[in-house]
Amino acid sequence: MASDIPVWAVIPAAGSGSRMQQDKPKQYLSFQGKTILEHCLDRLLSHPAIDGAVLALQADDRFWQELDYQADKPVFITDGGAHRQHSVYSGLTTLQYRCGNDAIALVHDAVRPLVSHDDLSRVIAAAREHTAGAILAAPVSDTLKKQSDDMEIAATVPRQGLWRALTPQVFHLPVLLNALKQVIDAEQAITDDAQAVELAGYSPALVAGSEENFKITRPGDLALAEKIWLDQRNQQNNE
């Protein structure tokens, strides 16, 4: 695969974040003087292999303009959709309009601001080498239980070979765009972008990623994210 194909971050950020119990979407909650979304963009756009970003926001999002976010790389805005796949698809069509088909889409959750540059480098490199793309993931380490209808243990599920999907999930633009179009046209429900690519007949590569790259979902997650962010900054300053 060509090593000079540009890489663009595509960030679906049209969710409401109701589980955070706040009066604004969770990506606009703050720690260390910036919103989660700003931290996320800072982390992605500071990576030398990433050329810019496309944000898919709610059509009536009033918080983004208030941020007046400034970056040295281009950040394009598009309207998100009712579900994640619609937001990602909107971002991909915007990217296609701006850059054509010769691009790599790095799809990342807006509320994962702690992904490391090392993980970004490795998943981008893997996606360049695989037609089906690549995703960051973590092997399952806990014992898994399947529940019954009565909330009792129905079975213990072997965890060998099981991974938790993380983001970024990185694909050549036409592969993901066509896969998501098929899913949307068929009104299929998917839980991540790799699933759409799998349904199209591909097998994306798995790249082991750090557990620090977690998704801020619940109120207690914000304090943990701040602690990890500070630890990462201190480690970087000491290198």
Write the pLDDT tens digit of every residue in 95-139: 999 999 999 999 999 999 999 999 999 999 999 999 999 999 999
Bridge partners for 78 per DSSP: 56
Name the nearest CA neighbour of 207 among 137, 104, 120.
137
- CATH number of domain containing 186: 3.90.550.10
Residue 48 in any domain: the answer is yes
Residue 143 in any domain: the answer is no
Tokens of 21: 């119990």
Q: Does this model's pTM top 0.75?
A: yes
- Look at 16 and 100; give whichever has higher pLDDT: 100
CA distances from 158 to 51, 104, 145, 162 (A): 41, 35, 9, 8
Question: Which helix (H) or strand (E) segment is 97 a member of?
Answer: helix 84-99
Question: Which helix (H) or strand (E) segment is 93 a member of?
Answer: helix 84-99
Residue 156 in any domain: the answer is no
Please give the Cα distance from 47 to 146 (Å, whole number): 40
Which domain does 45 fall in, by range? Answer: 7-135+166-238
Please give the Cα distance from 94 to 81 (Å, whole number): 13
Q: Quick one: pLDDT at residue 23?
A: 77
Task: Report the Cα 151 to chain-centroid distance in Å.
Answer: 32
- For the chain, the domain total comes to 1
Please count the other Cβ atoms lying within 10 Å of the Cβ belonging to residue 178: 14
Question: Which helix (H) or strand (E) segment is 122 a member of?
Answer: helix 117-129
